[in-house]
Amino acid sequence: MSADSFATRCAATLSAAVLLGLTLASGSARAAVSEPYVSNAVTARLLVAQDGVAEGVRALSAGLELELAPGWKTYWRSPGEVGLPPRIDWTGSENIADVAFLWPAPERFRAFGIENIGYKSDVVFPLNVTLKTPGAPARLQATVFALICSELCVPHDFTLALDIPAASGIDSAAAARIAQFVRKVPDDGSESGMAPDVAALNADKTALIFTATSATGFSDPDVFPEFGENGAFGAPDIRLGDRGRLLWATLPLFSASKPAAALQITITDGARAATFGATLADQVPEPPFTIRKIIPGVGELAWVAALALLGGLVLNVMPCVLPVLSIKLGSVIKTRGQSRTRVRAGFLVSAGGVMAFMWGLAAITLAARALGFSVGWGLQFQNPTFLALMILLVTVFSANLLGAFEITLPSSWQTRMVRADGSPGYAGDFATGAFAAVLATPCSAPFLGTAVAFALAGRAIDIFVVFTALGLGLALPYVSIAVMPGLVTRLPKPGRWMAALKVVLGALLGLTAAWLFWVLIGVAGMRAALTTAGLMAALIVVLALRRMPQAWRRPALAVLIAASLLAPGLLREKASPNSAARTAWVAFDRPAIARLVADGTTVFVDVTADWCLTCKANKALVLDREPVAGALAAPGVVPMLADWTRPDDTISRYLQSFGRYGIPFNIVYGPGAPEGIVLPELLSTDAVLDAIEQAVGGAAAAAG
């Protein structure tokens, strides 16, 4: 904040304090208030603390008062993602040299699911008026533009005028009203006791991380950064440390001025507020993960861990269970005829494979977050190289089960893996569990979204506990058989049915490979997918040629595997802009939601991806069927598709604004639900139709 700006605020504060003192000794001669501007949303007037200009007076204390009707709001100087701050033109004023416009501390509110900053009730903007000729009469004339919003936004243009004659005296009501809001104008920290510490942008410049201190400790703080006229931030994640004396906050950066403007940060905490200038540092401040912080959250963490455990268990019966079920059934077939001890140990090792993957995923999540990357559930399926690896494994497993070839380990490996009792080693069991966990991650089960959102928005211990509980839930079928290995003995005796089952399981994995190819088309494009398919076919042919010399086979396999993994990334095409047009959906446009709802339109947002099996189940079973399809195609309803098949920071930030880090995610906006109605992960016809009806309700009521 500049020295001139701070001096102006100090002058206004001092002037108001003097006026309040004079009020106790003076009566009110007459109201120093302009004729009001009145609408159904706002009543506006100019206030002046003095009844007139006394001899020798060089400055006056004034204010622009906006009395907002219930439910209406207006904006701060930095309004957030959408909105416009009030603007005033003083043309037509007389004997006025300058008018300093001061901003009381704002509030945060959500409209149409978007973060806004401003005022939800009456507000007076203090004005410090400097006269050209001290002691002479003056005239204040303000042409005001103010955007006032409720379910819809209404711009207001009006003119207010107030003549101030040569006179002495104080208007007690006006002086008290102005002084009330002068006290809400942020200081520079000298009176509020707050001070800035470190401010920095994360590695990919998508978030601001800020720390501040307070000698008396923070109680209920909020943070409002300003980054030029075009700067917009999301809601802050605020954490306190050092017994409340340290504030750490991170805010998603949605847009910024180019070139980068100076950074200014306002902190509010109850009745106090302060504004600081800030210089961006290179080092990102770490959040205050302290013992005092962890212990109070144990109760909440335990509940979320229980949800994660249940969500992991439910994953076993979600649409992604198709490939996982094949692997699990294959494990059971393999253990037929083995001892109870071997069966128990094998399934426990498979459960260990699940847990190893989940712990690895937690470690990668922590590392990515530390480097400033966006993290979410199932995002690895946006990576074409990862998809190619999954296609390679599933295709080889499928062809093996269908009898195209037999994979055998070298004799030296087999010798090492044989135990004293003649049972094979546990590497395959471990890989079975880990692979099953990998293929389960594209799904989002009930309870899973809440648990993952809590973890990804929380501390390191939150991520570890939630992912551990999730792995335990997913591994519970393995653990169950380990506890009761006798279940395996209830299978029929070996026979032709086992060969038939192998074919069925191979076909199921073949369908999984086909699905992964389809996902690869959306992520990397048709050219990359067809090239990968051709390389996979060549790989299967080489594996099936039993008479090929090993001197040729091994180099050929190495080249084909390497090419299969590299091709999708090297041949990746740009996303097709017509992906949404193949259906009746329009492409996701977050700012357009507010405009559409303000015009009385209902907006249904579907955040989906080709790799999200739960999303596809919702689409096939609910969204593409009547009567939901008809409701989405009705006049006045806009179905909006947010395709997250490929990485998209706009969609990531949109999900994070709702505390979500995975999909599916569906929400309905409308005149009757401007904040949006969030739907469950698993959609039902009744839930969608009820939400649309409720969202349309505001428009229907207005029409009635």
* Structural domain boundaries in the chain: 3-182, 194-289, 299-570, 586-703
Q: What is the per-residue DSSP string for 113-171?
A: TEEEEEESS-EEEEEEEEESSTTS-EEEEEEEEEEEESSSEEEEEEEEEEEE-B---B-
Q: pLDDT value at position 506? A: 73
Residue owning tokens 């259906």: 583
Phi, psi of 537, deg, nearest 5: -60, -45
Q: pLDDT value at position 701? A: 39
Of 352 and 432, more confident: 352
Residue count of the chain, please give it. Answer: 704
Closest by alpha carbon to 147, among 55, 80, 224? 80
Instruction: Give 270-311 pLDDT, tens digit per residue.
Output: 889 999 988 888 888 877 744 333 444 455 677 778 877 887
User: Is the per-residue pLDDT at 622 higher than 80?
Assistant: yes
The answer to whether the beta carbons of residues 375 and 515 sit under 8 Å apart is no
Closest by alpha carbon to 31, among 171, 140, 165, 134? 171
Q: pLDDT value at position 87? A: 92
pLDDT average, residue stretch 409-422: 41
User: What does the alpha-carbon distance between residue 510 and residue 515 come to, in Å, rounded to a whole number?
Assistant: 9
User: What does the alpha-carbon distance between residue 524 and residue 291 come to, in Å, rounded to a whole number?
Assistant: 45
Instruction: Give 205-257 pLDDT, tens digit per residue.
Output: 788 899 999 988 898 899 999 887 777 888 888 888 887 889 999 888 877 66
Of 435 and 543, more confident: 543
Most confident by average pLDDT, 5-9, 281-285, 312-316: 281-285
User: What does the alpha-carbon distance between residue 412 and residue 359 come to, in Å, rounded to a whole number?
Assistant: 31
Sorted by sequence, the CB contacts under 8 Å of residue 691 that are 6+ apart come out as 668, 673, 677, 679
User: Is the per-residue pLDDT at 452 higher than 80?
Assistant: no
pLDDT average, residue stretch 183-197: 91
- Please name every residue paired with 74 in a beta bridge, in sequence order, or none if there are none: 119
Q: Which of 26-40, 159-173, 557-571 shows the lowest mean pLDDT across its residues?
A: 26-40
Tokens found for residue 72: 């209406």
Q: pLDDT value at position 286? A: 78
The answer to whether the beta carbons of residues 474 and 312 sit under 8 Å apart is yes
User: What does the alpha-carbon distance between residue 691 and residue 703 come to, in Å, rounded to a whole number?
Assistant: 19
- What is the maximum alpha-carbon separation in the chain? 112
CA distances from 37 to 23, 33, 156, 176 (A): 27, 12, 10, 21
The answer to whether the beta carbons of residues 426 and 528 sit under 8 Å apart is no
User: Is the per-residue pLDDT at 581 higher than 60?
Assistant: no
Averaged confidence pLDDT in the chain: 77
Q: pLDDT value at position 477? A: 82
Of 30 and 469, more confident: 469
Superfamily of domain 3-182: Gamma-adaptin ear (GAE) domain (2.60.40.1230)
Count CB atoms within 10 A of the CB of residue 132.
13
User: What does the alpha-carbon distance between residue 109 and residue 107 come to, in Å, rounded to a whole number?
Assistant: 7
Superfamily of domain 586-703: Glutaredoxin (3.40.30.10)
Q: pLDDT value at position 664? A: 83
Q: Which of 156-170, 270-284, 525-539, 652-666 shows the lowest mean pLDDT across its residues?
A: 652-666
Q: Which long-range contacts (CB under 8 A, 24 or more apart) does 543-552 make?
A: 543/396, 543/399, 543/404, 543/405, 543/407, 544/399, 544/404, 544/405, 546/405
Of 424 and 128, more confident: 128
Cis peptide before 384 (omega within 30 of 0): no
Closest by alpha carbon to 602, among 681, 673, 702? 673
The answer to whether the beta carbons of residues 478 and 436 sit under 8 Å apart is no
Sorted by sequence, the CB contacts under 8 Å of residue 683 that are 6+ apart come out as 618, 621, 622, 623, 664, 666
Of 29 and 463, more confident: 463
Say what the pTM is: 0.49
Of 58 and 662, more confident: 58
374 confidence band (pLDDT: 50, 70, 90):
low
| Pairing label, strands 637-643, 602-608 | parallel
Tokens found for residue 389: 């690896």
CATH architecture of 194-289: Sandwich (2.60)
Instruction: Give 262-272 pLDDT, tens digit per residue.
Output: 889 999 998 89
Calculate Rg over the CA atoms of the chain.
33
Identical fold, 3-182 and 194-289: yes
Q: Which of 126-130, 352-356, 508-512 shows the lowest mean pLDDT across its residues?
A: 508-512
Tokens found for residue 355: 């847990």
The answer to whether the beta carbons of residues 355 and 456 sit under 8 Å apart is no
Q: What angle do CA 24, 25, 30 make, to 5 degrees?
A: 90
